[in-house]
Amino acid sequence: MIRSLVLLLCGLCCVRSLVRIPLTKAPSLRSHLRAKNQLEDFLKDHQVDAFSRRYAQCYPSALLSLKSGKTAERLYNFMDAQYFGQISLGTPAQNFTVVFDTGSADLWVPSTYCVSPACASHHKFKAIESSTYIHDGRIFGIHYGSGHLLGVLAKDMLKVGSVTVQNQEFGESVYEPGMSFVMTKFDGILGLSYPALAEEHGAPVFDNMIKQNLVEKPIFSFFLNIGPEKEGELLLGGVDEDLFVPPINWVPVTVKGYWQIKMDVLKVQGTSAFCHGDTSSCQAIVDTGTSLIAGPTMDILILQQLIGATPTPAGEFLVDCSRIKSLPVISFVLNGVEYSLPGESYIRKDVVGDRVLCLTGFVAVDIVSPKGPLWILGDVFLSQVYSIYDRGQDRVGFAQLKVPSIA
Ligand SMILES: *[C@@H]1O[C@H](CO)[C@@H](O)[C@H](O)[C@H]1NC(C)=O
C-alpha cells in the first residue's frame, strides 16, 4: 500500500518534471520580404557581416572586445526562423515569443528602453514592473550583420512551460540594428547550446534548469512538424515516446559548443558526394535556429548543380516545381545510419503574387571554425526526425517520427 503510494507520488513528480512547450510555425521573414518584393534590397543592405569585418577598426574599442563572428551569422539566419514558443520573465510574468535555438547559448529579449525600430514592433521587458528583477548593469553585445545588438545584463525569474528558473541571467537589448528584426514574429532568442558559446556571463537556461533540479533528465527533445496538425513541440527533461519510433541513433558530440557531431557522408541519389574519405570527414551542427540545411559554399554550389537548381539574384536556388518528384534523394549518414530526404522534403514552396516558387532547402554558409568547415542541419532536416539533445552523456539522438511528415 505504502509502496504503491510512493510509486504513485514518484510518478506524479516525474510527470511534472517533463515540460512540454508547444511550438508554432509562422512564415519566415525571408518569405515575408519576398512576398513584398523586398528580399533583394534587404540582402544588399545586410551583407552577412562583410561590413563589420571590413570596418571593424572603426567601432569603439569597447565593442571590439565582444566576441565576434560565430553569433553574427547565426542571427542573420534567424530571418528564416519559423518555429517559436512562449516564455515569461519577471513577477508578474511578462510574456515573450522566442526562438528555441540549439545553435546559441544566450537568452535575450528587447528592453523597454530600446528605441530601435525593431523593438517598436515587439514585446519589451519592463524591469521596473518586476519585483524579482535583479540589476546587473554589465553590457552585452552580439555582433550582428551590419551592426551590433547591444544590451544590458539582468537576472530575473524565467518561466518556460510549467518550470520556473530562479535568477536566470538574460540580456535586455537596448539597441537592435538594421531592419532585420523589425518584421520577425519573435521577440528574442532562447539559446540551448553548450555554455561555451555564451556571450553573456551567467549560466544558460538549460544549465540552470539542471542545476536547480527542475528537469527529470538533462535532456531535451524537439519535434518540428511541417504538416498542418501539430506544429511542433519542445520537451524539456526527456523524450516524448508518443512522437517517435525506437531505436534512437545516438551520435556523440565532438565539440561541446554547438551541438556538433561528425557527419559520415552526404550522398546524392545513393552515391557518396561529400564528406567521404578519411581526410575530408565533415562536422555538422544540429541547429533548430536555422531553417535550412547549410554547408560550405563550394560543396553547396556543387550540390545545387547535382539537383539541377538555378541561382537567383538573392542567392537562392530554384527548381521547376514539376520536377519535385524526380529530384535526386539527398542522404545524410550519421553514426552509420542513413537519413534520406526526397525532393518533397527539401524543396520549399513560396508564393509571390500568383507565382509559386520552388526553392531548394540548401544554402551556402561558411562558418569559420578551427574545426570547420561545418554543415548545419537545420529545420529542413530536423523536421524529418525526432531529435534529442543529451547534456548528461553529450550526444544527439535521432529517431524516426511516428507519423512521417511530408510538406
Ligand atoms: C501570458 O501568457 C499566459 C499563458 O499563455 C497567459 O495566461 C497570460 O494572460 C499572458 N499574460 C499577459 C500579460 O499577456
Predicted confidence (pLDDT) at residue 239 exceeds the cutoff of 50: yes
- pLDDT tens, residue by residue, 140-176: 877 654 456 788 999 999 999 999 999 999 999 887 7
Cβ atoms of 376 and 362 within 8 Å: the answer is: no
Q: Whose CA is nearest to atom 3 of ligand 1?
A: 95
Whether the ω angle into residue 313 lies within 30 degrees of 0, i.e. cis, is no
Strands 94-101 and 188-191 come out as parallel
Greater model confidence, 137 or 321:
321
Cβ atoms of 248 and 219 within 8 Å: the answer is: no
HEC profile of 254-285: CEECCEEEEECEEEECCEEEECCCCCCCEEEE
Cβ atoms of 111 and 90 within 8 Å: the answer is: no
Rg of the Cα atoms in the chain: 21
Q: pLDDT over 90 for what percent of the chain?
A: 49
Residue 225 — very low, low, confident or very high, per pLDDT cuts 50/70/90?
confident
What is the rounded CA–CA span in Å between residue 222 and residue 200?
24
Residue 264 — very low, low, confident or very high, per pLDDT cuts 50/70/90?
very high
| Residue whose C-alpha cell is 525571408 | 30
Would you say the C-alpha torsion 181, 183, 188, 189 has a positive or negative sign?
negative
Helix (H, G, I), strand (E, B) or coil at 91: coil
**Helix (H) or strand (E) run with residue 33 in it:** helix 29-35
Would you say the C-alpha torsion 348, 350, 356, 359 has a positive or negative sign?
negative
For residue 164, how far is its CA from the centre of ligand 1 (angstroms)?
A: 15
Greater model confidence, 16 or 364:
364
Q: What integer is the mean pLDDT of 199-206?
A: 88
| 122: Cβ contacts below 8 Å, ≥ 6 apart | 110, 181, 184, 187
Q: Choose which residue among 24, 91, 95 to substitute to test ligand 1 binding: the one with the highest number of ligand atoms within 8 A of its C-beta.
A: 95
Predicted confidence (pLDDT) at residue 232 exceeds the cutoff of 50: yes
Residue 209 — very low, low, confident or very high, per pLDDT cuts 50/70/90?
very high
Task: Please report the pLDDT score of residue 39 as a whole number.
Answer: 66
Greater model confidence, 232 or 51:
232
Predicted confidence (pLDDT) at residue 82 exceeds the cutoff of 50: yes
Q: Whole-number mean pLDDT of the chain?
A: 81
Burial classification of residue 354, based on how many CB atoms lie within 10 Å of its CB (0-12 exposed, 13-18 middle, 19 or more buried): exposed
The residue extents of the domains of the chain are: 20-57+68-211, 242-401
What is the rounded CA–CA span in Å between residue 306 and residue 170?
44
Of the segments 20-34, 67-81, 235-249, 367-381, which one has the largest average pLDDT value? 235-249
Predicted confidence (pLDDT) at residue 109 exceeds the cutoff of 70: yes
Residue 119 — very low, low, confident or very high, per pLDDT cuts 50/70/90?
confident
Give the single-character DSSP code of 253.
-
Task: For residue 92, give the ligand 1 atom closest to its CA.
Answer: 13
Q: What integer is the mean pLDDT of 209-227?
A: 91
Cβ atoms of 180 and 145 within 8 Å: the answer is: yes
Q: Give domain 242-401's CATH number out of 3.30.230.70, 2.40.70.10, 2.60.40.10, 3.30.750.24.
A: 2.40.70.10
Q: Whose CA is nearest to atom 10 of ligand 1?
A: 95
For residue 74, how far is its CA from the centre of ligand 1 (angstroms)?
A: 29
Comparing 20-57+68-211 with 242-401, is the CATH topology the same?
Answer: yes
Q: Whose CA is nearest to atom 1 of ligand 1?
A: 95
Question: Would the CB of 95 count as within 6 Å of ligand 1?
Answer: yes
Task: For residue 94, give the ligand 1 atom closest to its CA.
Answer: 13
Task: Please report the pLDDT score of residue 81 as a whole number.
Answer: 60
Count of Cβ atoms closer than 10 Å to residue 369 Cβ = 16
Greater model confidence, 301 or 114:
301
Cβ atoms of 275 and 300 within 8 Å: the answer is: no
Q: What integer is the mean pLDDT of 346-364?
A: 89
Q: Whose CA is nearest to atom 13 of ligand 1?
A: 94
Cβ atoms of 26 and 79 within 8 Å: the answer is: no
- Rounded to 5 degrees, what are φ and ψ at 328? -65, 150
Greater model confidence, 69 or 225:
225
Residue 10 — very low, low, confident or very high, per pLDDT cuts 50/70/90?
very low
Task: Please report the pLDDT score of residue 353 as a whole number.
Answer: 81
Task: Please report the pLDDT score of residue 370 as a whole number.
Answer: 65
- pLDDT tens, residue by residue, 41-69: 656 555 444 333 333 333 333 333 333 33
CA nearest 179: which of 101, 117, 131, 243? 117
What is the rounded CA–CA span in Å between residue 7 and residue 210?
23
What is the rounded CA–CA span in Å between residue 247 and residue 249?
6
Question: For the domain 20-57+68-211, what is the CATH code?
Answer: 2.40.70.10
- The full length of the chain comes to 407
Q: What integer is the mean pLDDT of 179-187?
A: 71
What is the rounded CA–CA span in Å between residue 375 and residue 23?
25
Predicted confidence (pLDDT) at residue 334 exceeds the cutoff of 80: yes
Residue 24 — very low, low, confident or very high, per pLDDT cuts 50/70/90?
confident
Name which of 146-150, 207-211, 228-232 the model is least confident about. 146-150
**Runs of H (alpha helix) within 267-359:** 297-307, 343-346
Residues recognised as catalytic = 101, 287
Task: Please report the pLDDT score of residue 397 as a whole number.
Answer: 98
| Alpha-carbon distances, residue 47 vs 54, 161, 275, 369 (angstroms) | 11, 37, 28, 20
Cβ atoms of 192 and 215 within 8 Å: the answer is: no
Task: Please report the pLDDT score of residue 198 as a whole number.
Answer: 86
Cβ atoms of 167 and 91 within 8 Å: the answer is: no
The β-bridge partners of 244 are 401
Task: Please report the pLDDT score of residue 73 as a whole number.
Answer: 45
Question: Would the CB of 24 count as within 6 Å of ligand 1?
Answer: no
